[in-house]
């Protein structure tokens, strides 16, 4: 059987599983739709949170980014795990005790203000929509890469699947499909990693393998070999970092705090029965996430070593098969600048932009002298002749290492699981925000239970359609917009959630000013450098050397300071609110 048949079988089986779960767990009430009835076990919630959190970017993108940035990749490794410490210690138990359905619910009640609630809804919607567009695109890309299906059709298939379990099952359906999706994605990520680790170092644990000696060269550790290969070819050493320390600090903080402020992650902690379960599921969640996040840097190092060992200074004709196969997908391209038939790979870009392949009249690719696909891009001066998309490090990794076909098929199913599970979690936040926070809590408080559930389903349908539209017609700025989502979560939600729990005196005036200023400053900074003056986006122009990716940290600090100062000079919150804050600090029935 070839890869494609395997892929159809494995992806088909996983989809059948998700649909079966969706049909079995239909939501009958708003409580089931919003928080799965509040009866999810901490273990299941930990698994679901992990799948919810790990998106197409974690699964397909991250290892590739680290592969090309070496030690600097730790920004993402620490940034996207460290937030769980904040979440588990500072937010989850208290928000669970508060016991409502959404983040805007807490903001609206704690700050006794419809204005605060509406600002929170707008933030939640904005963050979730920016994030979900990328996921749908991810689904389309996996389909097109592995099954040669058109990206549009891939997105539509993805929409149909998510539609089934998110619209029918709500949080209940999502939770149990996410449990299944975690299992699929972690299996798909680990199997190739373990295989490659054994092949290169003889150690079956990838986390240890990338610190071990090579089988082929006893006494030489893998990372030393990689450092050696890198310097030989004119790259920086893999194990060193280039990023400015201060900027690294700010980006990592923004990612951590942003993670803790993402509404689709926070809401998962509303689904467990007790406060102690919320703490426990924080631990489970990080455990399951850490499996992928500690394997990923090993995958990066393995893939980089294999790449540098096999491709540079090889002639195109003798290059391994995967090179020619993935060339067709446009993830890799070669421009023989010095016309010696040999692939030169070193620092710098080979040409401008993504490869633009020349096609013949009959639709085939135009082939060059050595058989390579001809690119028409404007050449950039320099010796490097090779274009490599970062995504290839995970997508093609099994082939680069020569693994069996079914492992390659597994990677497709894993990428789909990662993208679909995150998309579903985000769609639920969107539908809850509209049906619960906007309609029930702001526009029509008298809506019946049945009417609200109906509205939630309609909102979910609307959200799936909009997300699908952006998946098919992605705005150019998808990547830039993800930085925005984290920055905004850090600058808007995190400070007022923390202060709302740990201070009784912080009031609505403070929270509203804090949120608005945190948001406005972060938005302005990111939009200025990412959209308005893209060519000014260099360290010399940044405020205190902080990149747009790290500016969420500044917005967060501003939010904290403003909220505290304004609260100091305006009236205290009413007694009921102060009592509520008192009440959420103790598990159990603290009134008794």
Partner 1 sequence: MNPQDKRRYWKKNLRYLFFLLVIWFVSSFILGIVLVDYLDGVKKTPEGITVEDSNSFFNGFRLGGFKLGFWIAEQGAIYVFLIIIGLYVWLMNKLDKEFNIEEKEISTSDH
Contacts to partner 1 by CB under 8 A: 30-31, 34-35, 38, 66, 71, 73-74, 77-78, 81-82, 84-86, 88-90, 93, 96-97, 99-101, 207-208, 210-213, 221-224, 236-237, 239-242, 245, 248-249, 252-253, 256, 270, 273-276, 279-280, 282-283, 286-287, 290, 293-294, 297, 582, 585-590
**Quick one: 225 or 508, whose CB is closer to partner 1?**
225
Selection from 255, 292, 290 nearest residue 482 by Cα = 255
Phi, psi of 210 (to 5 degrees): -75, 0
- In the complex, the smallest distance separating the C-beta of residue 107 from partner 1, rounded to whole angstroms, is 16
- In the complex, the smallest distance separating the C-beta of residue 550 from partner 1, rounded to whole angstroms, is 12
**Quick one: 12 or 539, whose CB is closer to partner 1?**
539
**Quick one: 76 or 146, whose CB is closer to partner 1?**
76
**Quick one: 253 or 413, whose CB is closer to partner 1?**
253
Whole-angstrom distance, CA of residue 459 vs CA of residue 454: 9
- In the complex, the smallest distance separating the C-beta of residue 489 from partner 1, rounded to whole angstroms, is 19
Whole-angstrom distance, CA of residue 99 vs CA of residue 275: 10
Query: Tokens at residue 101, please?
Result: 């359905």
Contacts of 232 (CB under 8 A, 6+ apart): none
Whole-angstrom distance, CA of residue 320 vs CA of residue 268: 45
Q: How far is CA 499 from the centre of its chain?
A: 27
**Quick one: 295 or 562, whose CB is closer to partner 1?**
295
- In the complex, the smallest distance separating the C-beta of residue 165 from partner 1, rounded to whole angstroms, is 21
**Quick one: 4 or 294, whose CB is closer to partner 1?**
294
Whole-angstrom distance, CA of residue 45 vs CA of residue 284: 8
- In the complex, the smallest distance separating the C-beta of residue 220 from partner 1, rounded to whole angstroms, is 9
- In the complex, the smallest distance separating the C-beta of residue 221 from partner 1, rounded to whole angstroms, is 3
How many CB atoms neighbour CB 413 within 10 A? 25
Whole-angstrom distance, CA of residue 298 vs CA of residue 67: 9
**Quick one: 36 or 331, whose CB is closer to partner 1?**
36
- In the complex, the smallest distance separating the C-beta of residue 282 from partner 1, rounded to whole angstroms, is 6
**Quick one: 90 or 564, whose CB is closer to partner 1?**
90
Selection from 201, 189, 132, 205 nearest residue 395 by Cα = 189
Q: How many CA atoms lie within 13 A of 522 on its CB side?
A: 33
Query: Tokens at residue 351, please?
Result: 């040409």
**Quick one: 318 or 582, whose CB is closer to partner 1?**
582
The burial class, CB within 10 Å (0-12 / 13-18 / 19+), for 264 is: buried
Whole-angstrom distance, CA of residue 478 vs CA of residue 232: 35
Whole-angstrom distance, CA of residue 115 vs CA of residue 514: 13
Output b/e per residue, 286-303; b: 16+ Cβ within 10 A.
Answer: bebbebbbebbbbbbbbb
- What are the residues facing 351 on neighbouring strands? 379
- In the complex, the smallest distance separating the C-beta of residue 573 from partner 1, rounded to whole angstroms, is 18
Longest dimension (CA), the chain: 83
272 SS3 class: coil
**Quick one: 86 or 517, whose CB is closer to partner 1?**
86
Whole-angstrom distance, CA of residue 42 vs CA of residue 215: 42
Whole-angstrom distance, CA of residue 50 vs CA of residue 284: 9
- In the complex, the smallest distance separating the C-beta of residue 522 from partner 1, rounded to whole angstroms, is 20
- In the complex, the smallest distance separating the C-beta of residue 86 from partner 1, rounded to whole angstroms, is 8
**Quick one: 23 or 220, whose CB is closer to partner 1?**
220
- In the complex, the smallest distance separating the C-beta of residue 96 from partner 1, rounded to whole angstroms, is 8
Q: Return the H-helix or E-strand segment holding 74.
A: helix 74-86
Give the per-residue SS3 of 305-362.
HHHHHHCCCCEHHHCCHHHHHHHCCCCEEECCCCCCCECCCCCCCCECCCCCECECCC
**Quick one: 187 or 586, whose CB is closer to partner 1?**
586
- In the complex, the smallest distance separating the C-beta of residue 553 from partner 1, rounded to whole angstroms, is 11
Selection from 56, 168, 170, 63 nearest residue 420 by Cα = 56
């Amino acid at each position: 059987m070839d890869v494609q048949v395997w892929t159809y079988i494995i992806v088909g089986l996983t989809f059948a599983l998700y649909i079966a779960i969706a049909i079995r767990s239909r939501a009958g009430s708003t409580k089931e739709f919003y928080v799965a009835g509040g009866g999810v076990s901490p273990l299941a919630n930990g698994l679901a949170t992990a799948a919810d959190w790990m998106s197409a970017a974690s699964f397909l993108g991250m290892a590739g980014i680290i592969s090309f940035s070496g030690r600097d990749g730790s920004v993402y490794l620490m940034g996207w795990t460290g937030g769980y410490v904040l979440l588990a210690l500072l937010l989850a138990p208290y928000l669970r005790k508060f016991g409502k359905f959404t983040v805007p619910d807490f903001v609206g009640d704690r700050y006794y203000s419809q204005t605060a609630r509406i600002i929170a809804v707008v933030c939640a919607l904005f963050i979730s929509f920016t994030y979900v567009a990328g996921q749908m695109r991810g689904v389309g890309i996996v389909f097109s890469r592995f099954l040669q299906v058109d990206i549009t059709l891939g997105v539509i298939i993805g929409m149909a699947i998510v539609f089934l379990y998110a619209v029918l099952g709500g949080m209940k359906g999502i939770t149990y499909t996410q449990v299944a999706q975690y299992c699929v994605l972690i299996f798909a990520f680990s199997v190739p990693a373990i295989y490659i680790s054994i092949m290169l170092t003889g150690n079956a644990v990838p986390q240890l393998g990338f610190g071990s000696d090579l089988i082929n060269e006893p006494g030489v550790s893998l990372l030393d070999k990689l450092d050696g290969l890198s310097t030989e070819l004119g790259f920086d050493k893999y194990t060193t970092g280039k990023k400015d320390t201060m900027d690294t600090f700010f980006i990592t903080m923004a990612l951590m705090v942003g993670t803790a402020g993402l509404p689709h992650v926070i809401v998962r902690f509303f689904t467990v029965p007790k406060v102690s379960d919320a703490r426990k599921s924080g631990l489970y969640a990080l455990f399951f996430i850490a499996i992928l996040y500690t394997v990923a840097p090993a995958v990066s190092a393995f893939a980089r070593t294999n790449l540098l060992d096999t491709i540079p200074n090889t002639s195109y004709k003798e290059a391994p098969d995967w090179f020619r196969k993935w060339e067709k997908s446009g993830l890799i391209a070669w421009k023989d600048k010095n016309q010696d038939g040999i692939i030169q790979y070193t620092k710098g870009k080979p040409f401008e932009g993504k490869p633009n392949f020349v096609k013949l009249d009959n639709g085939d690719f135009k082939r060059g002298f050595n058989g390579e696909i001809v690119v028409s891009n404007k050449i950039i001066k320099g010796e490097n002749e090779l274009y490599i998309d970062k995504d290839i490090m995970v997508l093609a990794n099994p082939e680069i290492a020569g693994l069996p076909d079914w492992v390659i098929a597994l990677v497709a199913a894993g990428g789909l699981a990662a993208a679909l599970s995150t998309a579903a979690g985000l769609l639920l936040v969107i539908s809850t925000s509209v049906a619960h926070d906007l309609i029930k809590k702001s526009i029509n408080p008298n809506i019946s239970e049945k009417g609200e559930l109906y509205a939630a389903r309609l909102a979910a349908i609307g959200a799936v359609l909009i997300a699908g539209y952006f998946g098919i017609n992605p705005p150019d700025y998808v990547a830039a917009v993800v930085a925005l989502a984290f920055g905004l979560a850090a600058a808007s939600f995190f400070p007022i959630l923390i202060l709302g729990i740990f201070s009784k005196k912080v009031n609505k005036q403070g929270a509203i000013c804090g949120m608005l200023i945190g948001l406005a400053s972060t938005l302005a900074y990111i939009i200025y450098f990412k959209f308005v003056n893209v060519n000014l986006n260099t360290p010399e122009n940044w405020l205190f050397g902080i990149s747009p990716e790290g500016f969420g940290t500044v917005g967060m600090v501003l939010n904290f300071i403003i909220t505290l100062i304004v609260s100091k000079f305006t009236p205290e919150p009413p007694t009921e609110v102060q009592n509520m804050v008192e009440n959420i600090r103790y598990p159990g029935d603290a009134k008794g």
